[in-house]
Chains A and B, each alone.
Chain A
Amino acid sequence: MIEVKNISKSFAGHQVLNNVSAEFHPGKVNFIIGRSGSGKSVLTKCIVGLMEVDQGEIFFDNRNFTTLDRWDRKDIRQEMGMLFQGSALFSSLNVEENILFPLQMFSSMSKSEMLDRVNVCLKRVNLEGKNKLYPSELSGGMQKRTGIARAIAMNPRYLFCDEPNSGLDPQTAIVIDNLIREITYEFKSTTVVISHDMNSVLETGDHINFIYQGELSWRGNKHEILHSENEALNNFVFPSKFMQQIREKLRG
């Protein structure tokens, strides 16, 4: 479980996160949702330590991440996998080398064991045989899947996905969502997904955290979201007349 306790973060006087607390549960897909610019990526970067928080603490299974220095964080880092918004594949390396990268750095496997692991991961994301392609030769969906394969190469306990289906067509987006959900249940990872795609939130959201103006404004699951009276949340999830009608129907 990841626990975020009272974290605040500002940039040059501009408060982006204000006293945010949240919990992310193992074996579940935990969502962080909110409008563009609401601070979702900043919150995630604070959790994984790519940004330092101004205030507050972050615990990874009761280990206080905030107080560790960068060398001690390394152990927890190696239990993390992350899919970045733009995939962030290493552009000078092919698909196979991208997935090999964390293995070569940190595992004690032999070369052939590593290649086996690469192929297992590629199979998991339905990219068998694409080993030698370069990121520039892949479609957006394939890049995301390669990103997922790289993120799961080290069997992460904690999996972070920043807008995994932004820039994808709805069908490909669902493929990615399903993949993330299956991997989460399979490996019992604590998965944190940032999204503003309502489709995937309402489909997969075991735990949903809604960020509004830098604060945690609502939390619940996909069923509770229908019955929430939080105005900001309702405006965000059901922005159009059409969606509001659907909400009324679903509420019965």
Chain B
Amino acid sequence: MSSVYFHIGKYFLLMVSTFTKPEKRKIYWKLIIQEVDKIGLQSLGIVALLSLFMGAVVTLQTAANIDSGWIPRWTIGFTTRQTMILEFSSTIVCLILSGKVGGNIASEIGTMRITEQIDAMEIMGINSASYLILPKIVAALFIFPFMVILSMFIGISAGAFVGLTTGVVSLNDFEYGLQYSFELWQVSYSLIKTFFFAFIITSVSAYHGFYTNGGPREVGASSTRAVVYSMVLILVANYILTQLLLL
């Protein structure tokens, strides 16, 4: 148990270093833009693919389960919207991204650690934590919300497309369902969660990479640990935030 406190303490100390005394501003802009590309744009494909199929499947599932005449057909559009906006586009997409982005961050920083590249920065007098970690956190906080909104669009559009082409729902019904008791707050709730998830993925993965000790095998282990810890923390944060924001 004491090792849990040890890690939490070490994590917070690393975050303090990360957010203090960054080096030249100009250099940070360049790094942030690079990271937006690496952790954002290069993950667009997987996010789009995932959202496409999830939106389609949720629509078909709902259609298949409302055979009884008591439940109106517009429920299909309603359910697709609620699923995508409230949970899928934020939580599930971020869980998947923690595998891709988190694993990448941990192995990149871990490799720099074991090949002494981090020591080389430190010896120059550079705050390596800030240089390596801050741009990743800022980039993720900036780009993840866009990816989540994109996921909502793709998922709902895919649902509509599948619903109409298979004939399980009419355009009118689907549209009515989409608009039924819709509040913008639901999107905000999802985006607030996304900010937390983005921070968890980048900072926790960076932590595991930064304190890698040993050789290539340990980099692999750090990468795995980064993904597992990010995922567990996302699940816990999702629960806590939902309770705080929706109740």
Seen from chain A, the residues whose Cβ lies within 8 Å of a Cβ on chain B are 45, 48, 50, 71, 73-75, 77-78, 80-82, 84-86, 88-91, 101-102, 104-106, 150, 154, 160
Contact = CB atoms under 8 A, between A and B. Distances in A.
A91 B115 contact: yes
A43 B123 CA distance: 15
A82 B24 contact: no
A77 B116 CA distance: 16
B120 A88 contact: yes
A78 B23 CA distance: 13
B120 A77 contact: no
A70 to B, nearest CB: 8
A105 B116 contact: no
Nearest to B124: A102
A11 B123 CA distance: 22
Contact of A50 (B111, B117, B123, B125): B123
Given A88-B115, A104-B27, A105-B27, A74 B125 contact: yes
A105 B24 contact: yes
Contacts of A91: 111-112, 115, 117
B32 interface: no
Contact of B117 (A74, A90, A104, A154): A90
B117 A82 contact: no
A84 B116 contact: yes
A104 B24 contact: yes
Interface in B72-130: 111-112, 115-117, 119-120, 122-126
Given A50-B122, A82-B123, 5 more contacts: A77-B123, A84-B120, A88-B119, A90-B120, A91-B111
B119 A84 contact: yes
Nearest to B114: A86
Contact of B115 (A74, A78, A86, A160): A86
A149 to B, nearest CB: 13
Given A85-B116, A88-B115, A90-B117, A80 B123 contact: yes
B21 interface: yes
A73 B123 CA distance: 10
B116 A88 contact: yes
A74 B111 CA distance: 25
Given A84-B119, A85-B116, A88-B116, A106 B124 contact: yes
A80 B126 CA distance: 12
Given A104-B27, A105-B27, A48 B117 contact: no
A50 B124 CA distance: 11
Contacts of B23: 105
A108 to B, nearest CB: 10
A80 B111 CA distance: 24
